Structures are given as structure tokens and as C-alpha cells.
Structure 1
Amino acid sequence: MNKSTNLRKIEGAIVARNGGSERTEKARNAARIVRTIWKNPLISRYEIAERLRLERSTITLQMNRLLDLGLVTEMSEGQAGPSGGRRPIQLSINKDYGYIIGIEMQVEAYSVVAVNLAGEILRFKKEPKAITPETFIDDVVFIARSFAAEMGGEEKLIGVGIGMGGVIDSDRGIIHYSIPLHLSAPLHFSDTIAQRLNTPFMIGNDANCCAWGELAFHRADGLKNFLFALVQFRAGDPRRNEYGGVGVGFGIVIDSQVYTGTDYTAGEFRSAYWTEGNL
């Protein structure tokens, strides 16, 4: 069975959304188990059951599935408890199960990176490219596919994340507007991408993406409340009466969750391209 089949299986198990169904409950449990192992390398089945308050039979069922997929691996045996008995088997995420592509879209260039499931950088590049509203979707698809080809193909590609300046509903994948990229009307990014590609895509405000990155890379530190400041210098475009300057945005984290606000504008501070009356 190839990785593509395995990936479809795990997506069906973890990402399924059938409210109230048995499948959804199994998906929720699988997702919680994977996240717990990811945040706590070398954890045992017993510790997972205790932390998540799940039945041992549920842990066994889900772990057998995740081990079969190759997403989780058994690393070693830990220390036995004070009363002796069998030593627990320690678990870890298989960092080489697949890779994830991250793309930062800017007006005059883009940056793209591939990381494994441990967050280790596998490949990175930055290329100059003029991004326009008319070509935005095509550009994203081209960048993702060409970079995946450089990584050896899309078979092990788990997903793609895009960060950019603007007011973005990450839950539904809607770009409400972006001054830097000249998107002035809502763009249903996720719906449009889904019609062209099978790979999961997510899009978010760049400062919020940075905040999520801090949570991910420092997951063992238990970060809960902080403010991430993203400061960027952007060149102007006199043809559009844009003179560039410094753009500032904030990612707000409360109780280990990125807070976007009711209208997804939390943390919006100043665009380099802001002028009076352009919103």
C-alpha cells in the first residue's frame, strides 16, 4: 500500500467532519492522540490514556491504526513503575512520514519551505515574482507543484500552508482583502483550490502564521499567552502610487490559541501600503 493511500486513510480518520457520528468521534480521538504524541515525544500508551481520559481499548485500536499507517513509531522501552511490571513502550511521531510546504506570498517575491513532521527544514528558496490578484491562485498552485517536484513528487506531500498580509478567515479559507497583494474583494481561496488539487491547503494572515509557528516550535515549553510582532519592509510601486515602507502586524496568542477576533482583524496594525481612503 503506497503513501498516497495511507494519507487518504489518515485524512479520513482524522479530518472527517460528520457531526455527531461514530466516525467523527473516532476522528476526534485519533487527532487528540496524534497531537499528544507530537507534543510529548516518547510518551507511553498508558500516559496517553491518562492525559486524554480515554479507555485503554480506544487507545489500542487507534494506536494500531496509526502504527499501520506508519505515522507513529515505537521508539524504545521506558522505565517500569515503582511496583515493577512490564516496561512501557515509548511512542513518537515518524518525522519522515511526509512533508509540508509553507509559502509566504509577498508583492515582489515569495518564499517557500518544506519541513518534515518534526519541523526540520528540508528545503528552502526565495524567488522574485510579481504577484497580482489576477494570477494569485495560479501562482500559488504553480509554486506548490514545482516545489513538490523538487522534493521528489507529491506522494509524500501532506499539505500546504500559505501566509500573506491581509484580513483572512483561516477557518473557511476566505481572503477578505489584502492591501499588499491588491485583493480588494473577498476571494474564496479554499473552495477555488479544492476544485483543482487534492492536497489540503490552508491560508492565514502572516503574523498569525508566525504566532502558530512559535507555538509549534516551542510546544514543549508550554507557551500560553504572548504577542508576536511581525515587522516587514516592503518596496513601493510608483505605478500604483505606493511608496512602500514598514508594515507591522501582530499575532495574539491567548491560552495557547491564536486569537483572530470576530472579524479576523485582531492584530492588524499598519500596512506599508496604507493611505488615507484606500480601505
Structure 2
Amino acid sequence: MNKKLSNAEIRTNNKKMVLQCIKNYQPISRAAIAEKLHFSKPTVSLLVDELVRENWVHEKGIGESSSQGGRRPIHLYFNEKAAYVIGVDIGGTKVKTAISDLGGKIICASSFNTRKQLENGLLKQIQKEVQEMIQRNQLDKSMILGMGVGVPGITETKTGVVVEAPSLKWVRYPFLTEAERFFSFPIYVDNDVNIAVLGEQWLGRAKNKENVLFISVGTGIGSGIIIHNQLYRGSSYASGELGYMVTDKNNMKNEFKPIFHRYGYLESVAGGKAIGRRFTELVQQNKSHSLYAEAAETELTGEQAFSLAKAGDVTALTVVEDAIEHLAYGIINAATLLNPEVVILDGGVMKSADFILPRLQKIVHQYLPSSVEIFQSQLGENAGVIGAVSLFLREYDSILN
């Protein structure tokens, strides 16, 4: 049985809808809002006046007069400076923290080495970074709505428990419970690739797209999925583990060994570490190769493989083109199933996007039943913190929703 909403709840919901309408269609007049939402003009005026008093909305300039020569409408804008949100991107090597306005403009940011602070407590250090940024930039602490956080592991978003984050050595880590010891405002946490796709849809290449596949290609390979404008997390918060996809059944039969313990097939043949390792093995078999001496002493990197492939090195080309094929097959399988409007690629391996993308697109478009746009992420090093801010704004049960 559906619970009947009280008049106060209906009014609050209407107010949220008006604010959302202003955010989406600014600059916009009261009359245009009424038309879009099918609300009466007096209702819209009352709600807008309230939003203006509360500083969520401001009036600016005047619009064009109507064709009948009537009074020019006042245009309304969402006040992106009304509050701040903290975005935190926790990675295996670096933790980045930023304070943003409500439009995603980063006001200040800082970062620290994950390993150095892991034993002393990441949250304690994040708290210290936040306090220093607030003081240094003379921000009003009361204007901070809360914080969004991305972590490199499977995360139960409702309980705030990080089920497993191997790079942090966290297993069933009660992130939110611990965070509440250091911060008094609301906090939301999710997997780092999930928040990346939210950021990309908000301010990146996937803006205005409702069906998005975001793939991070680094040492591991993971994906974030948005379906009909909703983040898809799966039955146990483990959706998007693209790195476990099998793209060569014959190789799987030959006692396949993952690149790292519990890593999947695709990331063990197309991830950055896997590319470097395979390149090293082939160079070690060729004494005339320019990197033979180095490969005999230490493992070469995926970055070296791509650098030499661009220069026409046959061994490097063999390795990276094989990896690109596997990645293409993974994209084909995922895109065939999900039918996204756009596929966004990010991660360390995508530093060589100029080399990878044309080859990927050629293979993918050959086999997909319907075409899909493939881009590199445009948010760069801020993708994680922007995504974390976006997570907060989506989840926070406030007037902003």
C-alpha cells in the first residue's frame, strides 16, 4: 500500500523539482518553469521566492520581451556558490581530495601518498587535508554540505562497508563508521570506477547521455555502468568487473594464470602490468633488441611497450596490438549486451589513447550490431574527485535533489 504524502512533503518535492528545472534549463523564467513542470504560475512563484531567500537560486538580468511587447521576464539561475562539497578519490598509490562548488568547479585540491598514510590512518590524514584547505582558502565551514568518496574495491553503498579493496588491504572495512569519527557531515562512498562514470556523465564526454559504459584500463580493468540515467551496481555491488571477461577460450584451456592473485583474464592480457610483462618475455628471447640488457635485469613497463610500438618496434607492436584486440573484444561483448550511447575509456594505459583508440574503433565497429561512440575521458586527473562530488549530489537527500 502506497503511503500518502503529506502537504509538507508534496511541497518539498515540488520545490526540489523547481530547483532541478532551474539547474537543467538555466537561464529560465518562472513562466517557462510552470510550463515545463505543469505547475500553476502562482505555485512556481512562491517556490522560487523561497529558493531565492534560501540562496539556492538568484535572479539575474532580464530576458527578451515577448512578441506581444509584454513585460520582459526575469531570468533565474541556480546558485552554484551556495554550498561546497568535498570529493575524495582514494587510489592504491595516491589519495586526492578536493573542495568543489555545486557546479563541479574545483576551488582547491591536495593529495598525499597512500602507502605512507595507510598505517597511520587514511581518514585521519584526509581530515587534516580538508581542515588545511578550508583555512588556507578562508572557506566558510558551515557551507560544506558533505563528502563523496571513491575507493578501489567492491563497496556496499548502503552500509558503507568496503567488501574488498586489495590495494589497500581492506576486507569488510567499515568505511562509513570509521569516517564518522572524523567528520560531522554526511558522507557517501562507492567504488572508484562507479564514481568516475558519474563524473563523466555530469561534466565529461557522457554529458546528457543516459546509457553509458565507462572503462578504466590500468593494471586492472573495471567498468562503471549507467542504464537509463541510473548507476547500475549489481545484486552484490560487484557489477562492471570487465577484467574478468574471457576473450580467448583456447588460452583459458592452457592452465591460465592471472597476472596477480584473484585478477581476471582480460586484465591479465590487456592491463598495463600484463603488457609490460609480456613485452619483457619477448624481448628476453631476442638478444639483438635494444632493451635486451634492461629486460634481463628488470621487468619492462607497458609504457615502454607503447612508446616503442609508436616508433615501429616489431616486438612491441606484437604485444600491444594483441592487448588492444583483447580489449576490443571485451568492449564488443559489453556494448552488445548493454547498448550504451557512448563508451568512455580512462586509466593509465589510456595515456597512449592516440595509438589505441583508432585501432580499437576499427575492430569494435566491425563487430557491433549498432555503432557506439568511443572516447577517452576528458576529466583527466580530476575524474575521481569530480565523480565523488557527483556521487554526493546524487545521493544526498536534500533540497538539491
What range is the shorter-chain TM-score in?
A: 0.7 to 0.9
Aligned to 1:204: 190
Distance 1:88 1:201, change over 3 A: same
How big is each residue's C-alpha offset from its partner over 1:225-248, in whole Å with a ceiling of 9 and x where there is no partner?
12111233xxxxxxxxxxxxx022
The Cα offsets for residues 67-106 of structure 1, whole Å up to 9 and x where unpaired, read as: 1121211112222333342222111112222222211112
Q: Distance in 1 between matches of 2:132 and 2:45?
A: 40
Partner of 1:44: 29
8 Å contact 1:112–1:124 — kept in the other structure?
yes
Q: Tell me the residue number matched to 1:53.
A: 38
**Which residue does 2:216 correspond to in 1?**
230
Deviation at 1:184, TM superposition (A): 0.9
Secondary structure in 1 matching 2:20: helix
Alignment partner, residue 142 of structure 2: 155
| Distance change >3 Å, CA 107–CA 29, structure 1 → 2 | same
Aligned to 1:214: 200
Question: 1:1-279, aligned counterparts within 5 Å?
Answer: 20-130=5-115, 131-132=117-118, 135-153=121-139, 154-187=141-174, 189=176, 191-194=177-180, 197-217=183-203, 221-232=207-218, 246-270=219-243, 274-276=260-262
8 Å contact kept, 2:101–2:107: yes
8 Å contact 1:132–1:182 — kept in the other structure?
Answer: no
> Whole-Å Cα distance in 1 between the matches of residues 191 and 111 of structure 2?
19
Question: Aligned pairs, how many?
Answer: 246
Q: Please state whether the residue corresponding to 1:155 is helix, strand or coil.
A: helix
Cα 1:139–1:22 change in 2 (3 A) is farther
Post-superposition offset of 1:254: 1.5
Q: Distance in 2 between matches of 1:196 and 1:27?
A: 31
Kindly tell me: are residues 218 and 90 of structure 1, through their superposed partners in 2, closer, same or farther at Cα, counting changes over 3 Å?
farther
**In 1, Cα distance between the equivalents of 2:240 and 2:27?**
36
Relative contact order higher in (CA < 8 Å, ≥ 6 apart): 2
* Alpha-carbon separation, structure 2, partners of 1:113 and 1:148: 11
SS at match of 1:261: coil
Q: Which has the larger radius of gyration?
A: 2
Q: What's the offset of the Cα at 1:260?
A: 1.4
Flag the 1:175–1:44 CA change in 2: closer, same or farther, 3 A: farther
CA distance in structure 2 between the aligned counterparts of 1:173 and 1:61, rounded to whole angstroms: 38
2:288 is matched with none
Q: What are the superposed Cα offsets for residues 18-38 of structure 1, whole Å, 9 maximum, x if unpaired?
A: 983433333322222222222
Structure 1: state its 5+ residue gaps.
1-17, 233-245
More helix by share: 2
Q: Confirm or deny: 8 A CA contact 2:59 2:74 kept in the other structure.
A: yes
Normalised to the residue count of structure 2, the TM-score between the two structures is 0.54
Q: Could you say what secondary structure the match of 1:185 adopts?
A: strand
User: Hey, what's the Cα distance between the residues in 1 that align with 2:261 and 2:4?
Assistant: 45
Contact 1:93 1:117 (C-alpha < 8 Å) held by counterparts: no
Percent identical residues = 24
* Root-mean-square deviation over aligned CA pairs: 3.0
The TM-score, its normalising length taken from structure 1, stands at 0.76
Report Cα offsets for 1:109-156 as digits up to 9, x if no partner: 211122222222222222223254883443443333333333324132
**Matches of 2:21 and 2:205 in 1, distance apart?**
11
Q: Would the aligned equivalents of 2:156 and 2:190 in 1 still touch at CA under 8 Å?
A: yes
Cα distance between partner residues in 2 of 1:273 and 1:196: 37
Residue 87 of structure 1 aligns to which amino acid in structure 2? Answer: R
SS at match of 1:66: helix
Name stretches of at least 5 consecutive residues in structure 2 with no aligned partner.
245-257, 264-401
Matched letter for residue 215 of structure 1: Q
Aligned mates of 1:147, 1:208 — CA distance in 2: 26
Partner Cα separation in structure 1 for residue 33 and residue 70 of structure 2: 18
